[in-house]
Chains A and B, each alone.
Chain A
Amino acid sequence: MGRKINNLLLEFASLHRFLMRFFRELVTPPYEFKEIIRQCYEVGWKSFPLIGLTGFIVGFVFTKQSRPSLEDFGATSWLPALISIAIVRALAPLVTALIASGKVGSQIGAELSSMNVTEQIDAMEVSGTNPFKYLVVTRVVATTIMIPVLCFYIAAIGLFGGYLSIIGQDQLSLLSFFTQVFDKIAFIDIFAMALRAIVFGFTIGFASCYIGYNSSKGTEGVGKAANSAVVASMFIVFIEELLIVQLLAVITPLIS
């Protein structure tokens, strides 16, 4: 038991060192702009098809499943408002984070871990390149930038999916659909969505890089790192979601 607590404390200390090093390397030159752009392409651009498809299905299915409940009260006209609140306040950031944890988190975890196993990180270091800055900082920055972009994209596609589901049974123009959608969304909702996405993006990038960069040697370490990166990212995202919801519940009335 004592040993387990000791290991846990050592892990926290290592995590803290990694976090401090990240912020130190982030602000000290040279800056790896070119690599950040490349990582944005890898993390963001390549995820657009998957995120788009998922967003569409979530919006379409959610609307379809919500209809019967509203029909009982003769309130199907509330569907656009319901979808907008559900997607913008909860589903878009969470679904984006979960998909990104699976796709991007596992990719980063496996990539850095295999570079670690095959001494590519050491090779980078001895050839005069700071591997932490080049591999970790760029990836964390890229996920922090691109997850919010993907989140807004999934929200738009999700709403469109909801619209298609509605017009399958009702007559509603796209303009009046989006008018109703935006009627129900306040600035704080958009702000909260962006905040969540930024926090989730940072979390996914940071957790995956930490696990991949510090993975144990051997091929088993690569598999473990990919798996742990996904599990840890998702777990932390859920905890953060819980905390952010509580925080917004306090802040929103004050701002309103």
Chain B
Amino acid sequence: MEKIQNRIIYDDAVISVDKLSKSFGDRQILRDVDLKLYRGENLVVLGRSGTGKSVLIKLISGLLKPDSGTINVLGEVVNELKERDLMKLRLKIGFSFQNSALYDSMTVRENLEFPLVRNKRNLTRAEINREVEDVLEGVGLLQAINQMPSELSGGQKKRIGIARTLILRPDIMLYDEPTAGLDPITCLDINTLINEVQERYQTSSIIITHDLACAKMVGDRMVMLLDGKFERQGTFAEIFDTDDDRVKPFYDYNFIV
């Protein structure tokens, strides 16, 4: 058990990925990747666009099937689970999509109710309303409850997307590019929200990003995906303490240019 900032990170891994490989056609995206996410930890996965960061979390959540390797989530091997068991496991995994993926034919309230109503069928209308309002208040957007997704800004959509995953009280959060396409101030808000979510809901998170400010602000530990493998890992300072031409421009662009 280790204490980072105000966070307690435990020794047990909630996600354990071993020798994971995935290719699309002739293109190998991930090569024998190993990864562990410890309970209570915010792990940032860095890497250039198209290096397979999003593929990794889609494999973890069972949206894609690996070519080889094992993915163990909360003690269950994802790639060996039957559809029904995978559905149950997914309720413990929150997935925040890059483009929020809000159901555009539903209001914000309906978006949040959808997973709740379908997975906790014994809830009363009053309980559903209370849950929805509570989570929306948590992301600071209670006033948007009756709005349609098309009426929201990019940052608001991100928050609602995160709220929709939180409503099922997941143990693990997977964030796919949480700050992509947002202005710097909204990025700060989203990063703060990620930290608040971790503290309030005691989640363990994987954050996929190429935004180093986001990585620095939310990450307890970082790994960098290079040529389909995690070649560097550690704290922010450890990752960028190198002359590797594949890593240096990353840092230089974010903090010098």
A32 (CB) vs chain B CBs: closest residue = B118
Chain B contributes a number of interface residues (CB within 8 A of A) equal to: 24
CB of A113, distance to nearest CB on chain B (Å): 13
CB of A243, distance to nearest CB on chain B (Å): 35
Question: Which residues of chain B are within 8 angstroms of A120 by Cβ–Cβ distance?
Answer: 101-104
A129 within 8 Å of B (CB atoms): yes
B88 (CB) vs chain A CBs: closest residue = A128
Chain A interface SS verdict (over half)? helix
Question: Which residues of chain B are within 8 angstroms of A115 by Cβ–Cβ distance?
Answer: 103
Question: Which residues of chain B are within 8 angstroms of A119 by Cβ–Cβ distance?
Answer: 97-99, 101
Task: List residues 199-246 of chain A with CB under 8 A from any CB of chain B.
Answer: none
B93 within 8 Å of A (CB atoms): yes
Q: Contact at A128–B87, with CB atoms within 8 Å?
A: yes
Task: List residues 96-128 of chain B with CB under 8 A from any CB of chain A.
Answer: 97-99, 101-104, 114-115, 118-119
Q: Contact at A128–B101, with CB atoms within 8 Å?
A: no
Q: Contact at B104–A127, with CB atoms within 8 Å?
A: no
Question: Which residues of chain A are within 8 angstroms of B98 by Cβ–Cβ distance?
Answer: 119
Q: How far is the CA of A127 from the CA of B113 in the complex (A)?
A: 11
Q: How far is the CA of A68 from the CA of B98 in the complex (A)?
A: 65
Selected contact of B99 from candidates A118, A127, A128, CB within 8 Å: A118
Scoring B103, B118, B164 by chain A CB atoms within 10 A of each residue's CB, the highest score goes to B118
A125 within 8 Å of B (CB atoms): yes
Selected contact of B115 from candidates A114, A127, A130, CB within 8 Å: A127
CB of A15, distance to nearest CB on chain B (Å): 20
Question: Which residues of chain A are within 8 angstroms of B204 by Cβ–Cβ distance?
Answer: none
Q: How far is the CA of A1 from the CA of B199 in the complex (A)?
A: 59
Tell me the number of A-to-B contacts counted with CB atoms below 8 Å. Answer: 56
Q: Contact at A125–B114, with CB atoms within 8 Å?
A: no
Chain A contributes a number of interface residues (CB within 8 A of B) equal to: 14
CB of B30, distance to nearest CB on chain A (Å): 18
B180 within 8 Å of A (CB atoms): no
- Knowing A126-B63, A128-B118 are in contact, say whether A118-B101 is a contact too (CB < 8 A): yes
Q: Contact at A129–B63, with CB atoms within 8 Å?
A: no
Selected contact of A127 from candidates B58, B83, B88, B165, CB within 8 Å: B165
Q: Contact at A128–B104, with CB atoms within 8 Å?
A: no
Q: Contact at B91–A123, with CB atoms within 8 Å?
A: no
Task: List residues 178-227 of chain B with CB under 8 A from any CB of chain A.
Answer: none
Q: Contact at A123–B97, with CB atoms within 8 Å?
A: yes
Question: Which residues of chain A are within 8 angstroms of B165 by Cβ–Cβ distance?
Answer: 127
**Interface 0/1 of B156-168, CB less than 8 Å to A:** 0000000011001
Q: How far is the CA of A128 from the CA of B114 in the complex (A)?
A: 10
**Interface 0/1 of A70-88, CB less than 8 Å to B:** 0000000000000000000
CB of B101, distance to nearest CB on chain A (Å): 4
Question: Which residues of chain B are within 8 angstroms of A122 by Cβ–Cβ distance?
Answer: 58, 63, 95, 97, 101
Q: How far is the CA of A237 from the CA of B188 in the complex (A)?
A: 55
Q: How far is the CA of A118 from the CA of B111 in the complex (A)?
A: 15
Question: Which residues of chain B are within 8 angstroms of A129 by Cβ–Cβ distance?
Answer: 114-115, 118-119
Q: How far is the CA of A128 from the CA of B103 in the complex (A)?
A: 15
B61 within 8 Å of A (CB atoms): yes
CB of A238, distance to nearest CB on chain B (Å): 32
List residues of chain A with CB under 8 Å of any chain B CB: 114-115, 118-120, 122-130
List residues of chain B with CB under 8 Å of any chain A CB: 58, 61, 63, 83, 87-88, 90-91, 93, 95, 97-99, 101-104, 114-115, 118-119, 164-165, 168
Q: List 14 A-B residue pairs with CB atoms under 8 Å apart, sorted by A's residue number.
A: A118-B99, A119-B98, A119-B99, A120-B103, A122-B63, A123-B95, A124-B103, A125-B90, A127-B118, A127-B165, A128-B87, A128-B88, A128-B90, A129-B118
